[in-house]
Amino acid sequence: DEFISSPPRKTVRFGGTLPEILLKYEKGDTTDFELLKHQLSDPDIKDAQLISWLHEFRASVAYLTKELEQLVNILLKLPWLRRSREVVEEYLGFLGNLVSAQTVHLRPCLRMIVSQFVPPRITIREDGVDISDSDDDDENVSENFNTCHRALQTVARYVPSTPQFLMPILVEFFPFINKSERTLECYVHNLLRVTVYLPTLRLQILELIIEKLLKLDVSTPQQDIEDAEEAANNSASEEKSTEVGLFDMEEDEDRKGDKIVCASVERMAHPLAERLDILMTILFSYIKDVCHVDGKLDISNTKDLYRDLVSVFDKLILPTHASCHVQYFMFYICSFKLGLAEAFLDHLWKKLQDPNNPSVIRQTAGSYIGSFLARAKFIPIVTVKACLDLLVNWLHKYIDNQDTGANAYCDVALHGPFYSTCQAVFYTLIFRHKQLLDGNLRKGLSYLQSLNFERIVMCQLNPLKICIPSVVNLFAAITRKYQLVFCYTIIERNNRQFIPVVRSGTGGDLVQTCTNPLDSFFPFDPYILKRSKKTIDPMYQFWEELSAEDLEDLKKPIKKGSSEDEDDDFLKGETPQNDGVVGIAPNSYESTTRSPVSSIGSPADCYVPYPL
């Protein structure tokens, strides 16, 4: 009974109260001050002792001026996150008192919090081998991150100017792209959490994250990723891998064994692609969570986020050549509502037609329009037709202005946006012609004839000479089948005029043919990152390889005078006497002078022997 009723034993400490120690220090007596620093730096300091000191510091923040920066730094280095709940609460109270009384310590406090945005022990990759630190306790990491965000919110509540001091620190602490997947994953996740309670920083944080993602993206060309996957598959066939992926993705399989196999299969073989895949998955999840409240699309939130993402797109994505995956954040948010997709197309259209924009930006905008119209399943055919009308009308006006003047000749430097727009129209027609003709065939044909492709193809600017051969040849085959325009005479003439570039190399003369003078690319070529592609695939229009029937069908022009109730006969058509054979020959037009990534991707290069 005496033991139970007795007060708890006091913790051992040296010197007087904190104010006394600090006053002595000001007068030159540093003995107790050094003892205090020693106690606080002791890794074995007990929770009760730490709480006692923090309680005194909370009441004495007025003494913690710039001159005591060394002592404050010791306090900020305390391992408070891995202490008891009582210590955490006391420490949060101390932080709030400190920054409100002494804003001079705001930056060190913010740096301390942001430094905790990555796990203390991480996976290390050495010579391609993962070395995991067994002390990394995932259960506590999530709780620690929650506490860090509480601390940041506490500081922001006491100091309204926190965001402007925080942003440079977030930039400074962003891990290098060669850090482990776990480190990058945690840091990006925590950055996106900051945007929830500090919305004024959202645009800057999105810019920061997407800039880093772009660096990863351009560092991993699609061909490198595919080569790494092929090499991994070859080695896996020899020795079955049992490595489990970082994320436990949701699987349909009931058996755990199946889940492990699937998780393993979902890892990217290329290490940078693996990091990019994880971060894109996080970005897609963030976009979905912001735009949906209780499972329903919130129009206001979605519009606000769309504006921020378009701003980032203009600043970072549009000027970046041949990125493969990062631009899909626009593809994804536009899938939520048709109005967003139309707004994005309108935004790109304004970029394309504005002569004040640099030519390269206008050309890239054209590439985005064509690729978006071709690949986005969620864009209805009525919107495709509206865009084709705009693009084709602009092309005809451009021809009106340029086809008879001094510049009426084939030159990419002079007419880059024109050629890019032609390619966008051709590419869209290749993917969408079946839908344009679906239902009412005569009406669809009448619409395509109204676009007057013949004038575009036959003009002095000669777009068929500049556009990528795979696009030109499929466009020629389709327009020939429906008797819209006969391109082969021009293609043959262009080929005769084409002069190959001959260079001397160590292995003798090397003939290089530049088949992509526009240096164009299709921004929404197939998405190949295994995890995050699950988000994109349901809304993505894949290129359907042409079957033997399709090839046979393409070479047959339609009968003139077909009516709507003769659709079957129309599709069968008649074969002209001197008919060519349409065949797929991948890489028929490949060149070493092409873009860094596979510009064509799909559809594959199509080789068309021209009719005699």
The pLDDT of residue 585 is 27
* Mean pLDDT across 178-207: 95
pLDDT reading at 310 higher than 70: yes
In a domain, 16, yes or no: yes
Mean pLDDT, all residues of the chain: 80
pLDDT reading at 274 higher than 90: yes
- When pLDDT is cut at 50, 70 and 90, the band that residue 498 belongs to is low
In a domain, 479, yes or no: yes
* Mean pLDDT across 12-40: 81
The pLDDT of residue 582 is 36
The pLDDT of residue 475 is 93
In a domain, 239, yes or no: no
* Mean pLDDT across 336-364: 95
Which residue would you say has higher pLDDT here, 514 or 443? Answer: 443
The pLDDT of residue 208 is 97
The pLDDT of residue 250 is 44
Structure tokens given for 199: 């919305």
- When pLDDT is cut at 50, 70 and 90, the band that residue 381 belongs to is very high
* Mean pLDDT across 82-90: 91
Last residue in a domain, options 464, 479, 501: 501
The pLDDT of residue 137 is 52
Tell me which DSSP letter residue 324 carries.
-
pLDDT reading at 245 higher than 50: no
pLDDT reading at 286 higher than 80: yes
pLDDT reading at 257 higher than 60: no
In a domain, 129, yes or no: no
pLDDT reading at 429 higher than 80: yes
In a domain, 149, yes or no: yes
SS3 125: strand
pLDDT reading at 572 higher than 90: no
* Mean pLDDT lowest among 256-260, 271-275, 363-367: 256-260
Last residue in a domain, options 483, 501, 519: 501
- When pLDDT is cut at 50, 70 and 90, the band that residue 133 belongs to is very low
In a domain, 366, yes or no: yes
* Mean pLDDT across 300-304: 97
In a domain, 578, yes or no: no
Q: CA 202 to CA 308: how far, in whole Å?
A: 8
- When pLDDT is cut at 50, 70 and 90, the band that residue 83 belongs to is confident
Which residue would you say has higher pLDDT here, 498 or 462? Answer: 462
Q: CA 574 to CA 323: how far, in whole Å?
A: 44
The pLDDT of residue 335 is 97
Last residue in a domain, options 460, 475, 501: 501
Most confident of 272-286, 536-550, 552-566: 272-286
Task: Concatenate the DSSP letters of all residues of 142-163 into one string.
Answer: HHHHHHHHHHHHHHHHH-TTHH
pLDDT reading at 235 higher than 60: yes
Residues spanned by the domain of 366:
358-501
**154-170 per-position pLDDT tens digit:** 999 999 999 999 999 99
Q: How far is CA 281 from the centre of its chain?
A: 9
The pLDDT of residue 32 is 87
Q: CA 194 to CA 201: how far, in whole Å?
A: 8
Q: How many domains does the chain have?
A: 2
Which residue would you say has higher pLDDT here, 292 or 607? Answer: 292
Distances (CA, A) of 224 to 271, 273, 290: 11, 9, 33
Q: CA 426 to CA 471: how far, in whole Å?
A: 7
In a domain, 108, yes or no: yes
The pLDDT of residue 556 is 61
The pLDDT of residue 147 is 94
- When pLDDT is cut at 50, 70 and 90, the band that residue 129 belongs to is low
% helix / strand / coil in the chain, to the nearest 5?
A: 60, 5, 35
Q: CA 441 to CA 436: how far, in whole Å?
A: 8
* Mean pLDDT lowest among 308-317, 330-339, 452-461: 452-461
* pLDDT over 70, % of the chain: 75
